[in-house]
Each structure stands twice: as structure tokens, then as C-alpha cells.
Structure 1
Amino acid sequence: MSGYLTTHVLDTARGCPAPGLLICLSRITDSGPVPLCERRTNADGRTDGPILTEADFAAGPYELLFHAGEYLRLMGVESGFLDLIPIRFSMTQAVHYHVPLLLSPYGYTTYRGS
């Protein structure tokens, strides 16, 4: 079995999923980030499929870049505090990785989910 990566975003200030939020995935190399894909969250705050498929999985360091500021402005929040949220992590085994984002206008939390 190969590994793969999923994510979702919850808007904790509004108590609901965060639809329409742009997420960019990059692989981290010695030369810097190498962009792999861009996805937007659906009505459930998830991407419509894995953000990294089993076929494209490779062990190593990655970055999910969440475009939180754009989403917050679309929701009418003009805090100007959060903009881009980079989350760097390593996938070392060929298993399913799930990296969610819990978002509010002035803070966020992430964890390795299941």
C-alpha cells in the first residue's frame, strides 16, 4: 500500500467547514519548495480528493500553504492578521496522512489526524 495525503479546514469562529479556501502543496527540497498542486476546499471544508495521491506519494518533507487571509476576507473578516499559513511536516511511511487546519481570524491549530 502506498501513502497519500488529505486535509480539511474548519472555521472555528463560525463553527462550520471553510469552503473555497485555496491550499497549495509543495515538496521541500534542498533547493526550496517545489509546487505539486493547488486545490480549493469544497462545501465540507475538504478537497474533492486526496491532495497527494497514492501514485504520487514519496517519503520526505512537504508544505501545505493555506490561503487563510483570502478566505477570511471573503467571509467578511477584515482582521488583516492571518494571511498565508504554511505547515511543514514530513511523511516517512507509506500510510495515510491527514493534516487538518482549525482556523479563526486570530489563530489556528493543526495536528496529524486520522
Structure 2
Amino acid sequence: MSTVSTHILDTGVGRPARGVTVHLAARGGRAADWRALGSATTDADGRCRDLPAVPAGTAHVRLDFAVEAYFAERPAFFPEVTVTFAVVPGEHHHVPLLLSPFGYSVYRGS
């Protein structure tokens, strides 16, 4: 079974992004439909600690970051950020999001 974790750093203010809802979905292959697995909200450290494990047979995972409400107090270009990636069975996948009002970057962390 694979696991997924994430955290968000708001590079515009140099702090973790608190209160962002992150939805986790999975699919078995390119032609398969997405299956919602659950969601979590980032804590004061910008981390989602409650994402469920990924079921066996999963080929791809999608993280949907609902950032529009987070940027409600300031102008921003992206209302949401979606990251889709391939998973390796039995491995942990940490996918940090570096976020600013007008850009973002993701990478596979450790």
C-alpha cells in the first residue's frame, strides 16, 4: 500500500499556508475513473496529517488544493491547484506545494 503526504509553503509571505483543503483521489490506470479517497485541511505548519492511504492497484494519484479561500484577502491568479502523479506500490510519496498568488511549484519530497 502506498501513502501520500503534502504540505504547503506560501512563498509570498514566507510562512506555511494554514486552512487549505486538500482532496485526494486515485485511479487504477489512464482509462480508469477517479475515485475520491478523502480530504484534509492544512494545519498551522501547512501540513495535511489525515490523508488516507492509497488502495492497492492505484496507478495515479491526484491532489486538489482548494487555494481560492486561502487567498480571499489578496488577489490571486489560481483558484485551485491540481497535481497528478504516478505512484509506486508500497512507497511513500511526499508532494510539497510552494505557493504564491501568481505561481506555484511542486516536487517529490522525502
Q: What TM-score results when the alignment is normalised by the length of structure 2?
A: 0.88
Asked whether 1:77 is paired with 2:74, we answer yes
Cα separation, 2, equivalents of 1:104 and 1:97: 23
Return the offset for 1:45.
Answer: 0.2
Q: Where does residue 42 of structure 1 map in the other structure? A: 43
Return the offset for 1:96.
Answer: 1.2
Q: Where does residue 11 of structure 2 map in the other structure? A: 12
Q: Where does residue 111 of structure 1 map in the other structure? A: 107
Q: Where does residue 82 of structure 2 map in the other structure? A: 86
Unaligned runs of 5+ in 2: none
Contact 1:6–1:52 (CA under 8 A) maintained in structure 2:
no
The one-letter code sitting in structure 2 at the alignment partner of 1:5 is V
Dislocated runs of 4+, deviation >2 Å: 28-32, 56-59
What is the Cα-based RMSD across aligned positions, in Å? 1.5
- Name the one with the larger helix percent: 1
Cα separation, 2, equivalents of 1:77 and 1:40: 20
Return the offset for 1:48.
Answer: 2.6
Return the offset for 1:47.
Answer: 1.3
Q: 1:99 aligns with which of 89, 95, 102?
A: 95
